[in-house]
């Protein structure tokens, strides 16, 4: 069985669907509201679990109703939540999302308890950890949590996948773990370019390009892998579906190109429904 440990954020998504995204200072009325589970780490964990991986999430939520609901939803999707800590007096992370008729979105996040995830919580959440699995890291939590995850993964001989979103300078200790990086095009530019990133890690870099697929950069070359065409309803969480499926496939021993093609299909299918997780496919759908 594929084994995946995700270190990342848990949010609750408050989503308003409107005909078009508002311009700065503009109010657009007539929207529809819905509440969904979110947070890149939690979404990625769900995406991997739906493909049959044995998934554990290391994260932090508040001691509020939103946190209790978020953990219950993750458990219902088959995600192991023993590494999710409840922070007294903290609020669970919240994302405010506006989605237009074409499926494009705008997102603003209040990190809440995610900002309290520290190295001690990560070290505790990663025990036991042995080789053969994948540790998937994201940047919606503090650097110390990301560094602790990378260190533990490298020491255990696990493969590291790092989704550098939102983009910020990457600690040298994380790069030393030779992570497979999965930025989108804007994040890759902000971090100095895919070729430079591959040079710093010594590992391939996957630049996600939405409906145009993925650019695979390795050993001084770049090539494009196409994404399946779908009629998108909501692109929220498509990148998370890609990362979770990629980790699940790598954890099952798939080669990189095969894992990427499966992840592209999972990401495409995830846009079929509103919300970050509702469209994420199960293995038989994929």
Q: Which residues contact 223 (CB under 8 A, 6 or more apart)?
A: 215, 216
Residue 198 inside a domain? The answer is: yes
CB-count exposure of residue 107 (10 Å: 0-12, 13-18, 19+): middle
pLDDT at 201: 97
Q: Supply the range of the domain harboring residue 213.
A: 3-20+32-270
Instruction: Select from 225, 227, 248, 250 the least CA-distant residue to 238.
Output: 227
Residue 211 inside a domain? The answer is: yes
CATH code where residue 63 lies: 3.40.1190.20
* Structural domains of the chain, count: 1
Please give the chain's pLDDT, 286 residues, in tens: 789 999 999 999 999 999 999 999 999 999 999 999 999 999 999 999 999 999 999 999 999 999 999 999 999 999 999 999 999 999 999 999 998 998 888 989 899 999 999 999 999 999 888 778 999 999 999 999 999 999 999 999 999 999 999 999 999 999 999 999 999 999 999 999 999 999 999 999 999 999 999 999 998 899 999 999 999 888 889 999 999 999 999 999 999 999 999 999 999 999 998 888 999 999 999 8
Q: Which residues contact 285 (CB under 8 A, 6 or more apart)?
A: 269
pLDDT at 124: 95
Distance, in Å, from the CA atom of 94 to the CA atom of 4, rounded to the nearest integer, reads 25
Tokens of 62: 């508040």
Residue 217 inside a domain? The answer is: yes
pLDDT at 236: 84
Active-site residue (options: 64, 240, 258, 278): 240
pLDDT at 67: 97
Residue 27 inside a domain? The answer is: no
Instruction: Select from 10, 209, 6 the least CA-distant residue to 94.
Output: 10
Residue 119 inside a domain? The answer is: yes
Residue 184 inside a domain? The answer is: yes
Instruction: Select from 241, 255, 193, 195 the least CA-distant residue to 219.
Output: 195
Residue 25 inside a domain? The answer is: no
Residue 240 bears catalytic tag: yes
Residue 26 inside a domain? The answer is: no
pLDDT at 248: 98
């Amino acid at each position: 069985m594929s084994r995946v440990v995700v270190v990342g954020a848990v949010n609750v998504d408050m989503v308003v669907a409107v005909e078009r995204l508002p311009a700065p200072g503009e109010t657009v009325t007539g929207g529809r509201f819905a509440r969904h589970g979110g947070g890149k780490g939690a979404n990625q964990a769900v995406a991997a679990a739906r493909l049959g991986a044995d998934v554990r999430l290391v994260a932090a939520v508040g001691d509020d109703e939103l946190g209790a609901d978020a953990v219950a939803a993750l458990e219902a999707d088959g995600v192991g939540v023993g590494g999710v800590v409840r922070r007294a007096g903290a609020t669970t992370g919240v994302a405010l999302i506006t989605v237009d008729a074409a499926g494009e979105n705008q997102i603003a996040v209040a990190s809440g308890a995610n900002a309290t995830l520290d190295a001690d919580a990560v070290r505790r959440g990663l025990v036991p950890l042995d080789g053969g699995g994948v540790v998937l890291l994201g940047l919606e939590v503090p650097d110390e949590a990301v560094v602790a995850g990378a260190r533990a993964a490298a020491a255990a001989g696990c493969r590291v996948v790092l989704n550098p979103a939102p983009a910020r300078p990457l600690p040298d200790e994380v790069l030393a773990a030779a992570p497979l990086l999965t930025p989108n095009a804007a994040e890759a530019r902000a971090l100095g370019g895919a070729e430079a990133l591959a040079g710093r890690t010594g590992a391939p870099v996957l630049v996600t390009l939405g409906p145009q697929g993925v650019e695979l950069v390795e050993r001084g070359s770049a090539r494009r892998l196409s994404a399946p065409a779908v009629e998108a309803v909501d692109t929220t969480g498509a990148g998370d579906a890609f990362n979770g499926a990629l980790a699940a496939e790598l954890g099952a021993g798939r080669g990189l190109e095969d894992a990427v093609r499966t992840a592209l299909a999972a990401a495409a299918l995830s846009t079929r429904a509103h919300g970050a997780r509702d469209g994420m496919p199960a293995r038989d759908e994929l």
